[in-house]
Amino acid sequence: MKKITVSAAALMLVLLTLFSASGCRPKEKPSDEPIRSLIARFEKACHELDGEEIYDCFNPDITKAIDFAAGLVGVDAGELVGQLFQSLGGSEDSQEFLSTVTITVTAVSFNAKGDSAKADVIMTVPVDDAVRSCNSTITCVLRDERWYISEFRVPTLSDFS
C-alpha cells in the first residue's frame, strides 16, 4: 500500500511539473503599445485628412466590403475614403473637427485570447474658444500579426461637452 501511495505522489509531481512547464499558467497581459500606436496613427491621419491612411487603419474584413462597392463604380477605395473625409458633410467645420481632434487612450483591455482589445478614449476638440471632450471606445482586432480598428463610433460635435 505504501508503494502505491509513493508511486501516486511521484506521478502527481510529474504531472504538476509537466502542466506548469507546458504553459498551463496565466498568460502574460499583452502590451497595449500596439493599440496606442494604431490610435495615434489614426489620429495623425485625421489631422492630415489622409483618407487612405485612415482607411489602412481599419480591419480588412470591413475594408473588403468598401473595396467591392468602390470597384462596382470604378474608383479606388482609399481615394474614395479620402474624398469623403475631405468633403465630410460639405462643411469646413467637419474638416476642422477632423484636423484638430485629439484622441487620448485612457485604458486598454484585451479579450482572453489577446486578439481583440477595447481602448477607452477621450476625444477632445476646440470649439468656440473652448476645449470640449467626449468619451468613446475604439475596438481593435489582431489580424495577421497586425492590429486594426474594427469598431468605432465617430462622435458628432453634439456629443462633445
Complete DSSP assignment for 18-35: HHHHTT-SPPPPPPSHHH
Domain that holds residue 137: 30-159
**pLDDT for the residue 18:** 43
Average pLDDT of 122-144? Answer: 90
Going by C-alpha positions, the residue among 79, 122, 131, 78 that lies closest to residue 100 is: 131
Does residue 59 fall inside a structural domain? Answer: yes
Residue 52 lies in a domain: yes
- For range 131-146, the mean pLDDT: 93
- The whole-angstrom distance between residue 79's C-alpha and the CA centroid of its chain comes to 22
Quick check: helix, strand or coil at residue 154? coil
pLDDT recorded at residue 61: 85
Please report whether residue 17 resides in a domain: no
The sign of the dihedral angle between the CA atoms of 73, 90, 100, 127 is negative
* ∠ CA 30-36-41, rounded to 5°: 135
Cβ atoms < 10 Å from Cβ of 42: 19
Residue 34 pLDDT level (bands cut at 50, 70, 90): very high
Task: Give the C-alpha separation, 130 to 157, whole Å.
Answer: 13
Mean confidence (pLDDT) of the chain: 78
Count of domains in the chain? 1
88 belongs to a structural domain: yes
Residue 139 maps to a domain: yes
Question: Greater confidence, 24 or 45?
Answer: 45
Phi, psi (rounded to 5 degrees) for 46: -65, -45
Share of the chain above pLDDT 70, in %: 70
Is residue 23 in some structural domain?
A: no
User: Grid cell 501511495 — which residue?
Assistant: 5
User: Is 114 part of any domain?
Assistant: yes
Instruction: Say which CATH number the domain at 92 has.
Output: 3.10.450.50
Residue 153 belongs to some domain of the structure: yes
- Per residue in 62-110, pLDDT (tens digit) is 877 777 777 777 777 666 666 665 555 445 566 677 788 899 999 999 9
- Which amino acid does the sequence have at 78? G
